[in-house]
Amino acid sequence: MDLHLIFLYLAILLFFARLTGDIFAKFGIPSVLGEIFVGVLLGQSVLGIIPLNDVMRLLAELGIILLLFHIGLEADLKQLKEVGFSAAAVAITGALAPMVAGFLVSYYVFNFPVITSLFIGGTLTATSIGITVRVLEDLGKMRERFAQIVLGAAVLDDIFGVVVLAALFEFSKTQEINVNATLLLILYIGTFFLFAPIIGKFFAYFISTLSRRLNTLDFVPPVVVAIILLFAFAAHEIGSPEILGAFTAGIAFSRRFTIPFAAAFQADRQIIHKIEESLNPLIWLFTPIFFVYVGLQLNLKAIDFSSLNFWLLSAVLFLVALTTKLLAGLFIKGTKKEKLSVGFSMLPRGEVGLIFAEFGRISGVYDSTLYAVIIFVVALTTLLSPIVLKTLLKEKGGDSYG
C-alpha cells in the first residue's frame, strides 16, 4: 500500500472519529460508540473506503497501549488491593461461566464438534478491557470501588483469554492440549506481572535521578514512551497481551506504588506530572484510532441476515454472552446498580472476541455462517455495553459524556 494513501486514510479517520464521537456525546451517547461507528461506516462493512492494513493496526495497538499505561498510572493501588478477592471472583466467574455455558450449548444443543464448541466457549470468555476502561473513564467513574473491581477482573480476564486461545489453537492443530506448555505460559505471565512493576519503579528512579543531573525534563516523555514499548514487547515475548506490559509500566510510575523497604527509589512528583502532561495529547490522538480499528475489523457484509439459522444461533449465543457476564457481577458486595455495572462492564468482547473469531476462521473451526454469528454477537456486546453503562451510571441532574 502506498504511503501517501495511509496519510489520506489517517486524515479521514482522525477527523471523522473526533467529530462523530463529539456528536454522539452531545446527544448523550458514549463517544466510543461514535468512533466504532466511524470504523464500521468507513470499513469493509459499508463504504469500504479504509481497508485493514498493518499501519492502522500498529497505530491502534499504540493507542490501546498508551491508554492502558494511563490507566495503570492513575490506578488506585490501595483500592485495587482491597478489591483483589472480588476482582478475582468476578474474573473467574466472568471467564469460566461463558466458557462452560458456550461449550455446553454449542455441543449439546447445536451438535457442533468438540473443537468448534470449545472455540465458541473461548470466544465468549473475552472482555475488551480497552472499551470498558474508556467508557468508565469518560464517565468519571474509574476511581469508584466497582470500577477498580472491573479493572482488576478485566486484566485477569485478558490473561485468561490469552491462555485459552493459545491452548485451543494448539488443540485445533494436534487434537491434544499441552498441559505443560499451558502451565508454563501461566507461570511466565504471573512472574512478569509480579516483577515488572518493581523493575519499572527502578526505571522511574533512574529517570528522576538523570533529570536532576542534567537539569532538564525534556528527555522524560520519549524515554517513558520507550519504556512503555519495551514493557509491551516483553509482555508479548512471554506470551502475554502487550497491554499487560503497558499497564504494569503505568503502575510502576504511579505515585501510589511503592516498593517495601525501598522508599528512596521513587520518581519525583515533577517527573510524574511531566509524564502525564506530555502523554495525554498522545493518548487523545491515538486512542480513537484503536476504537475506529475495532469498527474496521467488523465485516457485517459477511452476515446473511435472511438466514433463520443465523438468527437462532445469534440469539442463543448472545443470551449466553450476556447472562454469564452479568452473573459475574453477583459476586461483589454492593448495590444492585453496582452489580449490574460490573456485569455490563465485563460484557464487551470487542477486539479480543474478533481475534478469537479470526483464529477460529483461520483454523477452519468456524464455517462462514458460524463466523458471521460470532462477528454479530461480538458487535452486539461491544455496542450494548457502553449504552447500558451510560444509563446505569448517569448522575441525577444529568452529566456530560466524553
Instruction: Give a yes or no: residue 29 inside a domain.
Output: yes
Question: Can you tell me the distance from the alpha carbon of 232 to that of 65, in angstroms, rounded to the nearest whole number?
Answer: 8
- Pull the grid cell for residue 373: 454469528
Question: What phi-psi label fits residue 297: left (phi over 0), alpha (psi between -120 and 50 degrees) or beta?
Answer: alpha
Instruction: Give a yes or no: residue 397 inside a domain.
Output: no
Number of domains in the chain: 1
Instruction: Give a yes or no: residue 76 inside a domain.
Output: yes
Instruction: Give a yes or no: residue 402 inside a domain.
Output: no
Question: Can you tell me the distance from the alpha carbon of 314 to that of 98, in angstroms, rounded to the nearest whole number?
Answer: 15
Instruction: Give a yes or no: residue 66 inside a domain.
Output: yes
Q: What range defines the domain where residue 315 resides?
A: 3-392
Question: Can you tell me the distance from the alpha carbon of 136 to that of 67, in angstroms, rounded to the nearest whole number?
Answer: 13
Instruction: Give a yes or no: residue 399 inside a domain.
Output: no
Q: Is the dihedral of CA 260, 265, 267, 269 positive or negative?
A: positive
Along the 402 residues of the chain, how does pLDDT read in single tens digits?
677 788 889 999 999 998 998 898 888 777 888 888 999 899 888 888 888 888 888 998 898 888 888 877 776 667 677 777 888 888 888 888 999 999 999 999 999 988 889 889 988 887 877 788 888 887 788 878 888 888 888 878 877 877 777 777 777 666 666 677 778 877 887 788 778 888 887 887 788 888 878 887 777 788 888 988 998 898 888 877 787 788 888 877 776 655 544 444 455 667 777 777 888 888 888 888 888 988 888 788 877 788 888 899 999 999 999 999 999 888 788 788 888 988 898 888 877 777 778 777 777 788 878 888 888 888 888 888 888 888 888 754 344 333
Please state the φ and ψ torsions of residue 33, each to the nearest 5 degrees.
-70, -35
- Here the CATH number for the domain that contains residue 276 is 1.20.1530.20
Instruction: Give a yes or no: residue 400 inside a domain.
Output: no
Instruction: Give a yes or no: residue 162 inside a domain.
Output: yes
- What amino acid occupies position 223? V
